[in-house]
């Protein structure tokens, strides 16, 4: 907007000055032959002519200057002098930002100059912050440039690609180039490495699942494992489970995820093609088994992504019968031992009672107990009569810490994940300012630590989703997913 005002202001004043000079010098030569109306239209026409001449002259001069600088920049670049080449490019950009070139011409030619500069920066080994900002600005404006986007994505750090300021640009490029298979797979690998499962990542996963190629089996398996670990049971997860199971039917653990997706689906969902395919696949399994599979999938601590084979039914039956036999034998033996001990005790009591020395033993036993009692009484009295030492000064006991609140709700909302703890702390502080029960936990991947920002705790997944949708509708969070609740180990 500033460039537009500057350009037309200069053209207006130049046209007004040149037109005024022509009128002042030319009209007196015509004498009084011209009327007032003719003079007005003549002055207006003169001004318009000079306005367009000024624009043409500025555009011609500016574009020739830019072309000359771009040729010089190319010569310096081929000679290996990148500093001189960059200076020429920056001068060309300064001319584009000046008043010489009109907005229409500038809009048509700016892409050519920007693309040339971006390729210049990408050809260098190291780029500074200015170059990185210029490249990202160009890709934000022209995300469909496959050559530049491929070069930028391959130079970017895969772990940082889907985080912070880069993630919007990466997903924007993916949306603009859905047919670029190498780009889509690179984006999905970055999302999997970052363990992202928000809406932009889900769309990237969906493009791979809908249009797979022979080499995508490992990627689809990784997507299915990601959904399985997060206990997702929606249309996104169902397509991933189905695709992974079709590729390898030995992965029977995927049946749990598909059973859960069918159990939690709506009538509209079941009318779609993927749900029909899963319905046919699960049609041979009875309802009780399906319900059991769904419960196992929803368990807080489910088996790993590659669980081993379940024990055979016959083996379990044999073990159960053996345990029952051993238990029965132990109980019978214990009962017989108690009965025998009881009979022996009664017989011994009768014999002792009939013995002739029983009364003598009982008499001396009673006298011994009385003597022991008397001795205890004397010792106790003597202890109370002897003055005791002064007790040590009383020290108040430390105040007891309030008991920690035990939370039994199994679910929570995860709204973000960061590589740096200060980013997580900043976001948690922002959410707490909004009176939200926010915290963060630490998770570890193969190469880095993650700090996951989470909100509150919920007894059911439905309650968590309803709360998450409310926050999303209010614009407080961008997206979320339901995760298993863990007590935060990090507090600051």
User: Residues 453, 431: contact at Cβ < 8 Å?
Assistant: yes
**Residue numbers in the chain where pLDDT is lower than 70:** 1, 3, 26-39, 125-127, 156-167, 299-322, 324-329, 332-333, 335, 339-340, 342-359, 361, 363-364, 366, 370-407, 445-447, 487-492
Spatial neighbors of 305 by CB under 8 A, at least 6 apart, are 225, 228, 229, 253
Pick from 446, 463, 452, 447: nearest CA to 486 = 452
- Write down the pLDDT at residue 157: 63
We report the CATH number of the domain holding residue 417 as 3.30.70.1070
- Neighbouring C-beta atoms of residue 383, cutoff 10 Å: 9
User: Residues 28, 36: contact at Cβ < 8 Å?
Assistant: no
Examine the domain organization and report whether 116 and 233 are in the same domain: no
Q: What is the pLDDT of residues 19-58, one digit of tens each?
A: 777 777 766 665 555 566 666 777 778 788 888 888 888 8
Question: 25 in a domain, yes or no?
Answer: yes
Question: 112 in a domain, yes or no?
Answer: yes
Distance CA 489, CA 451 (A): 11
- Write down the pLDDT at residue 349: 63
- Write down the pLDDT at residue 231: 86
Question: 111 in a domain, yes or no?
Answer: yes
The phi and psi torsions of 449 (rounded to 5 degrees) equal: -105, 145
Question: 177 in a domain, yes or no?
Answer: no
- Write down the pLDDT at residue 357: 66
- Write down the pLDDT at residue 291: 83
- Write down the pLDDT at residue 259: 87
- The total domain count for the chain is 3
Q: Which of 81, 97, 124 is the last residue of a domain?
A: 124
Q: Which of 265, 285, 306 is the last residue of a domain?
A: 306
Distance CA 199, CA 472 (A): 12
Q: Tell me the HSE value of 74 on the side-chain side, using a 13 A CA sphere.
A: 8
What range defines the domain where residue 75 resides?
1-124
- Write down the pLDDT at residue 171: 79
Question: 439 in a domain, yes or no?
Answer: yes
Q: Which of 105, 124, 143 is the last residue of a domain?
A: 124
């Amino acid at each position: 907007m500033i460039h537009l005002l500057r350009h037309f202001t200069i053209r207006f004043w130049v046209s007004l000055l040149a037109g005024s000079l022509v009128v002042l010098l030319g009209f007196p030569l015509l004498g009084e032959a011209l009327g007032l109306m003719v003079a007005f239209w003549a002055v207006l026409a003169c001004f318009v002519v000079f306005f367009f001449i000024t624009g043409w002259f500025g555009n011609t001069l500016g574009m020739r200057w830019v072309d000359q600088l771009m040729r010089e920049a190319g010569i310096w670049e081929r000679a290996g002098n990148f500093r001189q080449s960059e200076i020429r490019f920056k001068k060309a950009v300064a001319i584009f930002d000046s008043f010489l070139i009109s907005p229409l011409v500038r809009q048509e030619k700016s892409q050519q100059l920007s693309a040339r500069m971006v390729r210049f920066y990408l050809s260098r080994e190291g780029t500074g912050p200015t170059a990185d900002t210029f490249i990202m600005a160009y890709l934000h404006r022209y995300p469909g440039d496959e050559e530049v986007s491929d070069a930028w994505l391959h130079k970017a750090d895969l772990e940082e690609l889907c985080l912070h300021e880069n993630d919007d640009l990466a997903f924007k490029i993916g949306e603009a180039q859905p047919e670029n298979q190498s780009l889509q797979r690179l984006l999905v690998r970055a999302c999997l490495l970052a363990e992202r499962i928000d809406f932009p990542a889900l769309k990237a996963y969906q493009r791979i699942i809908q249009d797979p190629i022979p080499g995508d089996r490992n990627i689809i398996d990784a997507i299915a494992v990601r959904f399985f670990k997060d206990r997702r049971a929606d249309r996104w997860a169902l397509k991933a489970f189905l695709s992974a199971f079709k590729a390898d039917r030995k992965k029977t653990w995927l049946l749990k995820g598909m059973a859960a997706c069918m159990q939690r689906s709506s009538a509209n969902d079941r009318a779609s093609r993927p749900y029909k395919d899963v319905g046919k696949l699960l049609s041979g399994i009875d309802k009780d088994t399906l319900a059991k599979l769904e419960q196992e999938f929803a368990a807080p601590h489910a088996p790993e992504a590659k669980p081993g084979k379940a024990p055979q039914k016959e083996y379990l039956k044999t073990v159960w019968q053996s345990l029952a036999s051993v238990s029965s034998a132990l109980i019978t033996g214990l009962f017989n031992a108690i009965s025998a001990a009881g009979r022996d005790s009664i017989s011994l009591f009768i014999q002792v009672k009939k013995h002739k020395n029983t009364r003598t033993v009982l008499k001396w036993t009673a006298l011994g107990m009385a003597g022991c009692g008397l001795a205890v009484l004397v010792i106790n009295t003597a202890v109370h009569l002897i003055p005791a030492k002064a007790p040590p000064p009383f020290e108040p006991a430390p105040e007891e810490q309030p008991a920690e609140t035990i939370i039994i709700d199994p679910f929570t909302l995860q709204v973000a994940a960061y590589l740096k703890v200060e980013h997580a702390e900043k976001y948690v502080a922002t959410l707490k300012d909004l009176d939200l029960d926010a915290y963060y936990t630490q998770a570890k991947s193969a190469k880095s630590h993650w700090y996951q920002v989470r909100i509150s705790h919920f007894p059911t997944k439905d309650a968590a989703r309803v709360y998450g949708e409310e926050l999303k509708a209010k614009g407080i969070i961008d997206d979320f997913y339901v995760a298993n609740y863990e007590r935060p180990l990090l507090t600051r």
